[in-house]
Every structure is written in C-alpha cells, then in structure tokens.
Structure 1
Amino acid sequence: MSYFLPETHPVLTAARGLALAHSGMIEVHSSPLYLRARDPHPDRVVALVSGGGSGHEPLHTGLLGRGGLDAVCPGEIFASPHNRQIYEASAAAAKSGGVLLIIKNYTGDVINFQIAAERLRHDGIPVATVLVDDDLATDSVDSATGRRGTAATVVVEKLLGAAADRGATLEELAGLGRRIVAASRSIAVAARAQTSPTTAGPAFTLDEGTLDYGVGIHGERGTRTIARPAIGDLVRRMTDDLLDALPEGPSEVLALVNGLGATTELELNAIGVLLNDELIARGVRPVLIVPGTYTAALDMAGFSLTLTRLDEGWAELWTAPTRTPLVLPRPTLTAEGLERSPQESAAPSASPGDTAPASDPSGDRALLDRYAQTVTQVRDNLTKLDQLVGDGDFGDNLAGGVRRAVKLADERGLDGTAALAEAFLNDVGGTSGPLFGLLFQHLASASPADGRAPSAAELAQAAEAGFAAIHRVGGASPGDCTLVDALAPAAQSLAASARDEAAEAPLTEAAQAAIRGALATASLRPRRGRASYVGDHALGVPDPGALAVALLFMALADIHEPTTATRLPAPGYITVP
C-alpha cells in the first residue's frame, strides 16, 4: 500500500483525485485542507461536517454530497484534522440553521472539533456536536476517554444526511444523532496488521493461527489476541458480544459488515450471511445487512461488525437516495430471498430400497479415508506451492473435494472412488477439479466390488483411460508440467507390472514412478495451466497437481501393499515448499 503514496502531500493529492473522479460534485480547498459538496440539497437548513485521520476511506469523503455530508476535513494518515480545517470548512458550509459536527471519539478529534465549535459560536454560527462512541472493545478499558468511535460513524452520517435533506433543524439532528449512537455498537478483528507508510512493513505482527480481537481503526492492537477460530464461530462470538452490549430496544437492526481494507467483498458477503443467520437464531430481525468496506484501516486484513437497533423511520433514512462518491445504499442482504446453504439443506430421505450404509468397509472406502487423511495433512504445503506458480487455491480445492467425497460416501453409501468422481466432477471448480474427476471416474471402474486389491492390469487400464480423457479435454502431455507428468509414468509402471508375472509390488512401484514424475516437474517450464503464465518463475517448483496424483498412488499402495509401501517417503516430505 505505502509504496504508491505520493512522497509529498499524499492526502491533498488524494483529495484532488477524488474531486477529479467526481467532477461537479466536490471542491477541494488546499490551505487549510477541506472538501466541500458543490450541490447540497436545497431543503437542507443545517450543514453536516465531519472528518478525521486519513486511511479510513471511503469514510468520510465517500459520504460527501446530497444525502450525506456538506464538508469533510481529512487529517494526515491516522491523525486528527487541525481545528482550523474544521472551523473554516464549517464556516464555508454553514447554513441558516447552523452546523452539526460529527466527531469520532478519539482525543485529537474531540479536542480539535470542540475548539472549532467554540470558534464558530464566537462568530455567532449555531453549532452542535454528536460524539460517536460505538466500539465495545474499549467499553471496559480503564480510561476517562470512553469508547472509541469506529464504523457506526457511517450509520450516523448516512441517517443524519437523509434527515438533513428533509429540512431537520439543528436540535432535531443533534438529538437524532445521539439516539443513533446510543443504539449502535461495533467490534473489529484482524488477522494481519496494516502496512506502515513509514516502514512499508506490517505495523505489528501476529503469530500464525491467531488474530487480534477488538482492534481499532487506526491500526491499534486488539484488546486481546486469540487463537483463530472457524469463521462461523468467530461471527457467533462477535454477535453475542454485540447483542450483550447493545441497550434494550427494538428487535429490528441494521447490521454493517465492514472491511478494514484488505478483506475481499467475497469474504464480506459470506460474513453477512453468517451474521444474518446468527441474528435470526437469537430472535433479532436484521432488516438491513450491509457488507462492504466503509471504514478502512489502510490495508488491515480484518473486518468489523456494527449493529444498530432501528427506531421507527430509520430504515427509510438509510435507503433514502444519495449523490455521493460512495454509492449508498449498497445492495443489501436480507433474510428474504436467501436460499438455504448446502449445510442447512435436508439430506434426501432414503427410499425403501436404499441400503446407504454409514461406511463402506471395502478397500475402496479405505482408500478414500487414507487419501482424505493425507490431503488434510499436506493441504497447506500444496497451497504454498500453488501460490508460487498460480493463484494458491489448489490445496483448498483438493481438500474441499475430498471432504465432499467423504460426505457422499457416508450419506449415500457410494464407493470411495465413485464418491471422489462425483464430488470432483460436480462440485469442485477451477481447472484441476474436473480433471481429477475424470481420473477418479476411470479409477472407480477398476475397483473390485468384493474389496480386494485391484490388479495391476485393471489399474493400468483405468489410469491409461484417465490419462487419455484428461489429454482429450485439456491437451496436456507429459513434459507440460501438469498432473499427467505423475499419472503417465504411474500408468506405464502398472502396465509393465501387468506384463511381468513376477512383479511383487505393482502399486508401490507405480507410486514411486508417480513420485519421480511429480518431483521432476520442478525442472520443467510449464506449458499448460496458470503456471504457464509465470514462465521461469515456476522453475524449481513441483506441480501441485502432479504431487496430488502421486499422493493418490501412495494411498493405494498404503492400503493394498502395506509392507512394501514402507519404502515410500512421507507425504509431507514430497510436498514440502
């Protein structure tokens, strides 16, 4: 992030860029720095002015204009604006009914905004203030400062902006703002600190597998560091903490799912659904679930949740039209129209003729369980390898497909390789998922129904058919640095063993051939798949797909040739990044 900030006047330059991008909406005053809306609503009689340290964009500048703020005073990065900025911005934007200052509860902000308010009063301009203090992480901190002001500022500014456009008076707006603040609480978590503009490194470090709970929007450490839970458990904990902290009131809420800078929209939308479900389970009706990045902490990897108990008419204020750089209201997730998640969907009931055993004792099911165990063990290694040559999703895709296959085998009594084939062909995306599905589909045909070890000839025929299908679909050949660089030598080894009546360990030998082929891909320049786009950067990195094929043949050997399979290396050894 900090690599691309201008070396001089970065905040002023960014302000000019915002005005350039929204021509006719915003004017920039450089000395002192503030931004003013060029086209306020004609019915507005009170100006709304806010601001704070930069690095929180789109707060506050994104809410500048009709339905939002009249003026914004940006400070330097994570530093409050000077009282002169606030005073001159307010004097320039003031209307017949005065000025309302919206202040986040940080010491520098409070002092400078209050000094500006005193100067405005001295000039005879009616002025009132609203102090936003929604951060429940600092609720019990032994400090006279009180709770910090964080993402609920967005809710306050949006609702007050709509009310101001309706001609609300200074007293009415101040009272409304204070009620909104009282009805709002926020909590934030982070898995990685923001980049320091000074050092270009992380502002603080977290141990792997941990996150900070209760971080601030200026990059402050959390009030505690916790082991990173599953995201569903994390959202549940945050929801409970928020509801415990909220004052009693209406059961309808607005819920803001706010990214802290480096959290993707994909993640925020998913968190929105989890939050929606948690609220409904507690008898709280989420009228509006609003995911997006609204109050960033530069590029911190984290998110915050804000709940606001909705009084009568507040939802309509949120959905009132705006003309601001930040397009609000954003499309919102609500309970209406949400399909049930796959986990919530009821499993199909068995017909009278279905047997559907809970588990398949055959060697084929044992193969699935062994492969699942192996993939779980090396998933992170495969992910790291794929990050070096591709987009880093291979480990998760492979593990997810295998988990789906285990579920299919458990719920529907499918054979192990048949379950793998169905899971990967139907449910695993990307390039490698369906290609592995083709391989599993052909291997399933070689699995004897009585659970005995498949013969070398049966496996050779299945592996060769799988290779042929993959070649027809994707065009990959040995030497292209793909999964077939492990599959082809394994198939050749099995075919040779089928011709040699003296072969004693055909599966172990095939696994060894697959391992050699997979590891040899490190010396190849990829010609297929995403790795082909990185050119020589892929040299020295074995192909993750080829390693996954080798792991499959290792699992076959472990199940059916346990004595000779001891010659094979550990899965973690061949997949080490």
Structure 2
Amino acid sequence: MSAPFVHPAHEPVARAAAGFARAHADLVALRPEPLHLLARTRHEGRRTGLVSGGGAGHEPLHVGLLGPGLLDGAAPGLVFTSPHNRQVLEAGRSAAGPEGVVLVVKNYTGDVVNFRIAAERLRLEGVRVGEVLVDDDLATDSADNAAGRRGTAATVVVEKLLGAAADEGRGVDDLADLGARVAAASRSLAVASRAQTDPTTGEPAFALGPDELELGVGIHGERAERTVARPPLPDLVDDLVGQVLDALPAGGGDGLLVVVNGLGATTQLELYAVLEEVAEALGRRGAAVADALVGTYVAALDMHGFSVTLTALEPGWLDLWRAPSSSAALTRGSAPVVDAPWVGGGATAPAAAGGTDGAPAADGSVPEGASAPERTLRRWAGDVETAHGDLTRLDRLAGDGDFGDNVRGGLRRVVARLDADGPASRRSGADALAAAGEVFLDEVGGTSGPMVGLMLAELAAAAERAGGETAADDAAWRDGLRAGLAAVRRVGGAEPGDRTLVDALDPAVRALADGGSLADAAAAAAAGADATARVRARRGRAAYLGDRVVGTPDPGAVAMAMLLRAAAGDAGPGDAVAGLLAAGR
C-alpha cells in the first residue's frame, strides 16, 4: 500500500482546515491560532451558540456541519486527537450568543477533559455554558468499562436536532436537556473489513483476513474486543440491527431515525445497499423507519466499513430533523439568516493558516546555567524524541497511536519556548516548569496534553514555594507530584489500577512520601508502568479493547517513568524504562 499524502502530526491538518475554509468561504471562516472554524451566518432566531469538535480524520464531522441549522463553531484536533482546551475555549467564546453556548462532545477521555476545562474557563468569563455528552457506541457498553460508551455517529443526529432547536431561540438549559435526551435515545454499532491506513507506515493499522470482520470497531481505528468470521451482508446487517434495536431505551413512539454512515472507504453504492438491508431487518421486527440519512459523515480516515445508528424519535424530533440547514455536508431547504456577529473582522483568511507542530526536534542538550527542573525537562524531551517510535507502537496496540506525536510535539514546543525566553541562567526552575505546564495545557490536545499540563503546573507551584531555584530537591518533587497526581485524578477520574499514567505517578508519590529519593521514585514509577501490562484498561481508549491490551504497558505510564528517570539523572532506572519501551516492538 502506498504512503498517504499527509502526515497527521504536522502541518497538513492546519493546511486541510485552510483548504476547507477556502473551498467553502461562503459558509465558514478560519481562525488559525488556536485552530478553529466559525460559521459565517446564523439563523436570525438563534440566541445560543453551538460548538463541537474532535480529532481530524472524521471529516466531514465536525467542520462540515458548520452553518445555519447546525453548528456555530468547530475545533479540529490532530488526526484522531482531541482539540486542546484553548481551541475549544476560543471557539466557544466566539460562538456564544446572548444566551450562552452549548458544547457537544463525543465521549472520549481526551475530548471530555479538554471540553470540560474549556467550559470551566468560559464560565469564569461569565459565559453561560451547557454540555452535551454523546455516548452511543453499543460495542463499548460494558460494566467493566469505567470510560462509558464511546461517542460516534449519533453525534450527527444530536448536532442536527440541537441546531434546529437553537434556531427556534431556545436557551442553554433547554438545549442541553434536549441533547442529553437525543443521545440517550441513540445507539450505534460499526463493522470494518479493512483497517484505516496508518499515516506513518502507509500500511493498514491492523490486519484482517479476507473472511474476517472487526465487529465493534471505533471511529479512531480502535479494534474491537474480538474479530469475527465474515457472514453474508444480509446476515451481518440483521445481527447489527437486532443488537442496536434491543439496546434502545423504551419510549420514542414516532418511529426510528436511521443513519448508515461510511467509515471512509465505503462507497455510496455499498451504503445504500446497507440501508435497504437495515430497513428490511427493521420491518421484520415491526419497527417503522421515519427517516434515514446515508453517507460518510463520521469517517475513520480510509477505513472500509460502516456503522448503523438508530434513534428512537420523540414527538417533535422529526420536525427538527427535517428543519432547514445549510452546511458543507448537510443542507436541507433554506432559512432566513443574518451575518454571524461572532465572525466579524477577526476571522482570518484561509491562506494565513500555520502549522500545528513546527518546533524543531529536541536533542536533550542542556545549556549552561539551567536549573535542575529545566535540565529534567530538556533531558525528558530528548528521551521522548528518541523513544517516539516505541511510544507510538505502544499506543497503537492500545488505541489510535497518537500519544507519541502528542507528547513529543508538546516537549518540542516546551524546548522551543525555553530557547526563545533567553539564557537559562535568568530563568528559575519554577519558571521553566510553569512555561512547560502552559504549553501542555494550551497547545497539546488529546488526554495527554491537559493531564501532563496539570501535573507540570503543580510541580511549578511546588518549586515556587521552595524558592524557585530548586536543585534536585526530593521534597519539592514530593509535594509537586502529590498535588499533580491529585489534579490528574480529579479531572480525569482515573484511579490506580485503571491502566493510565496514574499507575506510574502513584507509586512514585508513595516512594517519595516514604522518604525515598528521586531515584527510588523513578524505580517505583517504572515498576508501576510495567504492572500496567498485566491488567485490562478501565479508562481511555484502551478500555474498549478488553484483553487485547494485556501484555504491553500503557504508554502514558511509560512516559511518566521516563520523566522520573530524567529527574533522577544518572541514578534513574535506564534499563527498566528501556525494557518498557521495547515491549512495543
């Protein structure tokens, strides 16, 4: 298979957003820093803005749903990576109407964390904010999965109905309640016969035989818990429909809305054939189809597969579904519109879009006069640069493979910012850590960005309390890591044993609390990361893969072990961390 034309970690995501804005200049305006897009017009009755977002690679979601009757703002992240919270913050700030703004988020850990942080920041500015969580994926409906069901193609249904309701002039609370009810009334299930192309290797992200299917695949290319034999299409669709229909809550009464969604490489010919099979399968069960939507709306790059979404319609919802909308991907009828006041003169021309990760590689070198925390950051950046491929492989085995790009990109930006700030001798350790925390909080998406950013911010506060010029001070690390661990657990909800970076941080904090050195903490972090290879995940995207992740350590935990090793210097457990990274090979 040939290599793809773009690499997801770098410039092409921003360039693609610029190209989209250029192609649809009558509909959307681009703001490249931080990257988000806004609808140029709105329905004259709208008083509450609607904002959504998520990783690139799902197009036309979400940028293709910008316009009257749909969204006012969209924040795209890197491929299969949530936008960082500052993107959502700026989109929400710009899109908020007189009544406020509603944020629509798919239930993935990184999306939830970044949207939640953006919502808190908007509220601090006095903006009324409502939040709607879409969690329709039946394949991830398990009592063992603390992350909950993933958000997939029902997002299109939620955004269409909310857009029509917002055009009626409804407020934040009414829209948030409606969105929650629509999400609760929707379930989806996806199947794939070929994985998406890995943008790095040009090969399928996982292998399937000609007679195999991945039943329950995710829109980020996540594998299902099991691979199944490939049945004839009528049997496959009948099974999908039966499972989804059985999972719908009781109620509705106005029939079913059906969405047959392509995952990127499935032709319209195939999708219409699937719809016919869906309609017949529903008819055999006495279920009525009120309306249907067919096409690729929530892709997984170029995965060959499809999903089936059913929504049990409540009275009035069908009218909202059929209400006028105007966007690049979903246009129905026409409606009276006005220029969107939130676009104004601040919108930037598409040609001005910049890159998302243009910082140079970090070599781990340390300038003369650097404080101990800055030496740690620079060593960590160099180590992650070297281990990028291994971290990517570990994450690909447990999810979508974006972790290596995210943490490397963040640390590159940290080093670039430190270099731009002038001689290291003028900068305290607290300053270096604070700058690093700001970079990860405001510029790095996914789950890793805000989690690492919160931890670094707490380390900076501890260094500041210690005088700002801490050497390899075990007490400052003890206090900072303890506060950082608490913040990560508070925001992300993870506990020890859930197979996350908490499993490395928690033993490191306990080692320091027991009077151990940084070398002891580094060894404890490495042991904690190693232990993640022997448990099923309960948080993050790995939670959807069941036993398939057992045998390889969590990449976030490994990265935390690498940070503690960098802090401990030559005393760090180099062989142990190297062994963790080798598990991805």
What TM-score range do you get, normalising by the shorter chain? 0.5 to 0.7
Distance 1:213 1:26, change over 3 A: same
Residue of structure 1 in register with 2:100 after alignment: 98
Structure 2 match to 1:126: 128
Matching residue of 1:572: none
Distance 1:141 1:292 in 2: 32
The match for 2:412 is: none
Q: 1: distance between equivalents of 2:302 and 2:316?
A: 35
AA paired with 1:291? V
Q: 1:259 is matched with which residue?
A: 262
Quick one: which of 312, 315, 321 aligns to 1:312?
Answer: 315
Alpha-carbon offset, residue 85 of structure 1? 0.3
Match of 1:188 in 2: 190
Q: 1:319 touches 1:328 (CA, 8 Å); kept in 2?
A: no
Deviation at 1:321, TM superposition (A): 1.1
What is the CA–CA distance in structure 2 between the aligned matches of 1:73 and 1:182, rounded to whole Å? Answer: 24
Q: Distance in 2 between matches of 1:2 and 1:55?
A: 16
Q: 2 CA distance for matches of 1:24 and 1:37?
A: 9
CA distance in 2, matches of 1:114, 1:166: 26
SS in 2 for 1:3: coil
Report the Cα offset of residue 250 of structure 1. Answer: 2.7
| CA deviation string 1:238-280 (max 9, x = no partner) | 0110011111113510000000001100000011011011111
Task: Note the C-alpha offset of 1:86.
Answer: 0.3
Specify the alignment match of 2:205 in structure 1. Answer: 203
Question: 16, 19, 22: which one pairs with 1:17?
Answer: 19
Determine what percentage of the aligned residue pairs are the same residue: 57
Aligned CA RMSD, in angstroms, stands at: 1.4
* SS in structure 2 at match of 1:188: strand
Within-5 A mapping of 1:269-348 = 269-329=272-332
In structure 2, do the counterparts of structure 1 residues 165 and 2 end up closer, same or farther at CA, with 3 Å as the change threshold? farther
Write the letter of the residue equivalent to 2:295. G
Q: Report if the CA contact (8 A) 1:67-1:165 is conserved.
A: yes
- What letter matches 1:203 in structure 2? A
Q: Do residues 75 (structure 1) and 77 (structure 2) align?
A: yes
Q: Secondary structure at the match of 1:103?
A: strand
Q: Which letter maps to 1:73? A: A
2:233 maps to which of 218, 231, 234? 231
| Structure 2 CA distance for partners of 1:41 and 1:309, relative to 1, 3 Å | same
Deviations along 1:330-380, whole A, 9 cap, x unmatched?
A: 9xxxxxxxxxxxxxxxxxxxxxxxxxxxxxxxxxxxxxxxxxxxxxxxxxx
Cα contact 1:133–1:181 (8 A) shared by 2:
yes
> In structure 2, what residue type is equivalent to 1:318?
W
Structure 2 match to 1:170: 172
Change (3 A) 1:143 1:172: same
Deviations 1:84-112 (A, max 9, x none): 00001111111110010000000000000
The 1-side partners of 2:106 and 2:32 are apart by: 23
- 2:154 counterpart letter in structure 1: A
Does structure 1 conserve the Cα–Cα contact (< 8 Å) formed by 2:61 and 2:298?
yes
Which one-letter code corresponds to 1:238 in the other structure? L
Q: Secondary structure at the match of 2:300?
A: coil
Q: How many residues align?
A: 330
- Structure 2 distance, partners of 1:14, 1:320, is 30
Q: Deviations over 1:280-314 (max 9, x none)?
A: 11111001121111100000000000000011111
Secondary structure in 1 aligned to 2:36? strand
For residues 55-105 of structure 1, what are the alpha-carbon distances to aligned partners after superposition, in whole Å with 9 as ceiling and x for unaligned?
A: 000111110010110000000000000000000111111111001000000
Alignment partner, residue 110 of structure 1: 112
CA offset at residue 329 of structure 1?
4.7
Distance 1:2 1:119, change over 3 A: farther
Provide the rounded CA distance (Å) in 1 between the counterparts of 2:214 and 2:130. Answer: 36
Deviations 1:178-237 (A, max 9, x none): 000010000000000000111111000012201000000000001221100000000000
Q: Distance in 2 between matches of 1:169 and 1:2?
A: 47
Gaps of 5+ in 2: 334-585
How far apart are the structure 1 equivalents of 2:129 and 2:315?
26
Distance 1:46 1:192 in 2: 41
Contact 2:7 2:199 in 1 (8 A): no
Question: Could you say what secondary structure the match of 2:308 adopts?
Answer: strand
Q: Which amino acid aligns with 1:151?
A: A
Number of the residue aligned with 1:89: 91
Relative contact order, higher structure (CA 8 A, sep 6+):
2
The answer to whether the 8 A contact 1:256-1:305 is kept is yes
CA distance in 2, matches of 1:279, 1:106: 30
Shift of 1:24: 2.3
Q: Secondary structure at the match of 1:147?
A: coil
Contact 1:156/1:177 (<8 A) preserved = yes
Counterpart contact for 1:12–1:30, Cα < 8 Å: yes
TM-score (norm 1): 0.56
Q: Which runs of 4+ in 1 moved over 3 A?
A: none
TM-score, scaled to structure 2: 0.55
AA aligned opposite 1:3: P
In structure 2, what is the Cα distance between the partners aligned to 1:255 and 1:92? Answer: 33
User: In 2, are the aligned partners of 1:318 and 1:329 still within 8 Å (CA)?
Assistant: no
Decide which moves more: 2-11 or 93-102.
Answer: 2-11
3-state DSSP class of the match of 2:182? helix
SS at match of 2:43: coil
Partner of 1:35: 37
* Whole-angstrom distance in 1 between the partners of 2:239 and 2:175: 34
- In structure 1, distance between residues paired with 2:194 and 2:279: 25
Deviations 1:471-526 (A, max 9, x none): xxxxxxxxxxxxxxxxxxxxxxxxxxxxxxxxxxxxxxxxxxxxxxxxxxxxxxxx
2:149 aligns to what SS in structure 1?
coil
Q: Is the 8 A contact 2:326 2:332 kept in 1?
A: no
SS of 1:88's equivalent? helix
Q: Distance in 1 between matches of 2:225 and 2:265?
A: 21
User: 1:425-446: CA deviations, max 9, x gaps?
Assistant: xxxxxxxxxxxxxxxxxxxxxx
Gaps of 5+ in 1: 331-577
